[in-house]
Structure 1
Amino acid sequence: MPSVKNILVVDNNPIVLEFMSTILEESGYSVRTADSGLAALSIIGEFTPDLAFVDLIMPEIDGRRLCSLFRRDLRTRKCIIVVLSAIGAEDPDREFAAYADAYLAKVPFRILRENVLAAIRDLGGGNTAPYDQTIVGSDMIHHREITKELLFAKKHMDVVLGMAHDGVLELSGDRLVTYASPSACEILGMHIDELLGRPMPDVFPTNVREQLSRGLDEITGGVKTSGRCDELPLDSRIVTVSFRSVTFDDYTSILMILRDVTELVRDRRRVESLLNDKTRLLREIHHRVKNNLNAVSGLLYLHAGRVESPEASRALNDAHGRVTTMLRIYERLFDSGRSEHIELSALLRDILDGVSGTFGAKNVRAVHTPSAHSTFVSTDVSVAIGLIVNELVTNAYKYAFPDRREGTVSVDITRRPDGVVC
């Protein structure tokens, strides 16, 4: 194994960074420091470390995930990784070999200095035996109950997010992915190591990036604290994305919730298709009924003018008026495009115009003052109202104004405080 020359130290504690930088530079190593996982990822683009000291508990990308990223990255795949953490007593992970070569506890600096330099010499020379399943210095650190409780809460939250159907992404202030839940990885079809550190919205297909960028611009620009992009096509999925800005003290991030609505959208489209078929069928039925009523109305009108008996003529005219009323209802249904409801004021105007035209009486006016708000009624109710109003207005024309006296027949709509329409 080649000797160690370049060393990267990743820790969010500035005191630790200064201490490590000092002792390593004094020992002749080339040192770079990073205060977060994202900063470390940006550094390896220009600085290839032979060995990296990584803290486990950090904001944005945590230490374990950062070590995993180093293992997958071609630039750092051969880098020796040493965990340098203060939680060895509360979280004694002795299976760290999956992501690191050694684990050093954060002990007092005078002892830590010797442990750090010894680890560099041993691991750089290929001597890994002292570090197998051993947390160096763990016998010198004390158990802290509060730390254990916080670690438990974090693990519990990881389990909850891991079981959630909705995907969760967290972005840094400059829109780099710092967290991705298992569901988010599944929805996007990417491994978590492919997502972390990548800019948003580059992790999404090109056809939806512009829409997502506009939503993120409003969040980062302070225009909104939350936003939403509905039904974005992602290959074979349809996804709704929600954004929310989150701030704790001086730490700001953006949470993105990814909800797979593929089945919901498909079900909705199936229902819409069925409703469209139903609407077309009802319109066809209304059209045929209207044509039949029109034919019946015409026949009644013709026969009323041909019969010699005044009583028969009146009966046929009354029947003609009733059929004409129902005809106007179906005309309203057909012309308005509504299959089940009719606007009441428009229907009443049609009935009054029809009765007035039938009698042709110039001494009587039929008027209707519409209400301030439109009132829609069902087909069944409109037929009943239409027939009743037709009978009342017809009788008023016949009997309310003898000897051609002038008058007005008024039909109004009022809405009571309890919502009942009269």
Structure 2
Amino acid sequence: MVRLLVVDNDPDILDLLRIGLESLGYQVRTAESGLAALRAIEEEVPDILVTDLIMPNISGEKLLKIIKAVPEWTGLKTIVISGVAAEAPELRKAVPCDIYIAKGPIASTLKYLQDSITHFEQMRTICDKGRVVGADEIHSRHITRELIDFKAETDKILDHITDGICRVDSSRSVIWMNVAFSNLLETPEELILGRDLETFLHPATRPALVALLDDQDTLAVEVEVPLSSGGTRLVRARRISARPRGDCCTTLLWQDVTDRLLSEEYYENIVESTSSLICTTDQEGFINYVSRSCHRMIGRAPQEMIGRKPWDYVAGSHRDQAEERFTRILGAFLSGESPQTNLWEVPLMLPDGTEIIGEVQASPFRNRANRIMGIQLALTDITARRHLEDERQALLHEVQHRVRDNLQLVASLVRISNPLHVDTRIAAVSEVFDELYREQSFSRIKARPLLERIICLGLTTPEYRVTADVSYHVEAEFLPMRAAVPLSLIITEIMERLMPERTRRITIAVSLVSREEQLVLTITGISPAEGLSLPEGCREGNHAWNEGCPDMLEVLASQLRGTCQEETLPEGLGFTVAFAEDLLVS
């Protein structure tokens, strides 16, 4: 028994054809649409497919093209019953069927069907020559021709739209599409129609399509489409008709946004390569975009900040001020004015309760039409810079205090010392600060260079200008600022006492070593002549200068919480200064 599958969207005609064919002894199954016919063929391939030509969504022409594209169905014989054979004879050439029958009265149509099924090969040979069986018994209808022309023009317009359009039924099967949608998927139409739309999407984005079709509130989603050429394409799907219910279908508009994604990624890479956090707001001040750097800078996820106001993250004591400033700047931008300043600093509160100092720069955020849509903020973390500036300012104040104290010390020495040597002492203090800035530090000085410079200063004083052989043994690498000035004045004072009156040559040994938790400075001067003659007024033993005045070395040593001893040695005159070693800790 020949198995037939009869397809027609008119249920009355379908019933008449089924009854008539069954009465002729054929096994008949029916389908009211092209999609239903595909499902029936998937269940069981018939011997012959009999289909109407003009049907909504999957027409008879598209149904035949789908069948030809499936290797397992290539042996299926096909017969088309056309109700527009007289009005559109050009369709015969476009329809890939074996036999083409003009649809007329049911009785004549059944007769031609029986003849075609019984003598299939002979009838196919006749139709191969472009003939339409039964066409001479029907007449053309003007209104039908107009409808066919209108449909052809509409299809042409839809196929020239650059955005893809498709229609799916409640089971998410594609039942209609334009050329752009086929190009979007890089898949022929006959391999898409009748198939589940989800199968053409990347598995990770299929839930988004389900939400678009099932959730009334979801109007658009972005999904990824794997391409046969490799890679994926980002597509934005928008629902432009009601979601499918029961036998209803829904229409979707598809836009290729891959280039937009690449542009956004390029922009995002630029944004993320900066050290700033970038965010934009709408005209009401609500945040609608945040760069990923927000997690690194302020410990928050971008999604957490979307829909909030920028000042929500400002420390409480400055929040009202930040809101007022932001609102004023946004209002100035929207009114076309320039704010007095669009750069300010705010303290920001992190989730862990700590604060950072942010520098905010605001600029208008415009769309492609150059209309201001809101405001763009660039936030830079200047906490470390501000702390460094504060520390630098504190160090500068400290240096100022030390300079003042040291100048006061020099002034006191001037009042109790020989005025002839005031220049030398002031020059020694100057050497300290000069070495301080050479070191580019506000707290410490290298010990060896300072000792060498102070000794050299004493040897080149205009009153003496002697030639000296100087040796050094220095263990300490650095001297703190608070010890450098008193120590340089001590060395200056010792050098004045070492200078010989007659000989023009002297040998000096300088030692700065650690000993019993103290730092010991030892300076010994040796003259090759008759030894060192002490200056007039100096007594043997304690060598106190300027009778009735405190000894200079004792005064200066007290500045270091230390002691100074002076003694006459067989090899010359020696001075030993010992002070607490903790002064060296910077």
The verdict on a shared fold, with TM-score over 0.5 as the criterion, is yes
Residue in 1 aligned with 2:182? 185
Residue pair 1:170, 1:256 contacting (<8 A) in 2 also = yes
Residue pair 1:95, 1:133 contacting (<8 A) in 2 also = yes
Q: What is the TM-score when the length of structure 2 is the normalising length?
A: 0.46
CA distance in 1, matches of 2:204, 2:13: 45
Q: Does 1:19 align with 2:11?
A: no
Shift in Å, 1:76:
2.7
Residue in 1 aligned with 2:78? 81
Residue in 2 aligned with 1:374? 324
Name stretches of at least 5 consecutive residues in structure 1 with no aligned partner.
Answer: 283-333, 336-341, 351-368, 387-422
- Percent of pairs with identical residues: 27
Correspondence 1:216-255 to 2 at 5 A: 216-218=213-215, 223-224=216-217, 227-230=219-222, 232=224, 234=226, 235-246=231-242, 252-255=248-251
Residue in 2 aligned with 1:33? 30
Residue in 1 aligned with 2:42? 45
Residue in 1 aligned with 2:61? 64
Instruction: State the SS of the aligned residue for 2:197.
Output: coil
Q: Which amino acid aligns with 1:193?
A: E
The 3 A distance-change label for structure 1 pair 70 and 232 is closer
Q: Does 1:265 align with 2:286?
A: no
Shift in Å, 1:179:
1.4
Instruction: State the SS of the aligned residue for 1:69.
Output: helix
CA distance in 2, matches of 1:54, 1:72: 17
Residue in 1 aligned with 2:51? 54
Q: What is the TM-score when the length of structure 1 is the normalising length?
A: 0.62
Correspondence 1:191-340 to 2 at 5 A: 191-218=188-215, 223-224=216-217, 227-230=219-222, 232=224, 234=226, 235-246=231-242, 252-275=248-271, 280=276
Larger radius of gyration: 2
Instruction: State the SS of the aligned residue for 2:4.
Output: strand
Residue pair 2:208, 2:221 contacting (<8 A) in 1 also = yes
More strand by share: 2
CA distance in 1, matches of 2:339, 2:107: 92
Shift in Å, 1:128:
1.8
The 3 A distance-change label for structure 1 pair 91 and 37 is same
Greater RCO (CA < 8 Å, at least 6 residues apart): 1
CA distance in 2, matches of 1:30, 1:383: 83
1:157 is aligned, of 142, 154, 157, to 154
Shift in Å, 1:162:
1.5
More helix by share: 1
Shift in Å, 1:121:
1.9
Residue in 1 aligned with 2:117? 120
Q: Which amino acid aligns with 1:381?
A: Q
Deviations 1:355-379 (A, max 9, x none): xxxxxxxxxxxxxx96896332569
Shift in Å, 1:11:
0.3
Instruction: State the SS of the aligned residue for 2:340.
Output: helix
Deviations 1:184-204 (A, max 9, x none): 122222221111111231221
Residue pair 1:96, 1:102 contacting (<8 A) in 2 also = no
CA distance in 2, matches of 1:188, 1:76: 24
CA distance in 2, matches of 1:384, 1:179: 55
Name stretches of at least 5 consecutive residues in structure 2 with no aligned partner.
Answer: 279-296, 299-309, 330-337, 346-586
* Alignment size in residue pairs: 300
Q: Which amino acid aligns with 2:235?
A: V
Q: Which amino acid aligns with 1:228?
A: A
CA distance in 1, matches of 2:224, 2:127: 53
Q: What root-mean-square deviation, in Å, do the aligned CA atoms of Structure 1 and Structure 2 show?
A: 3.6
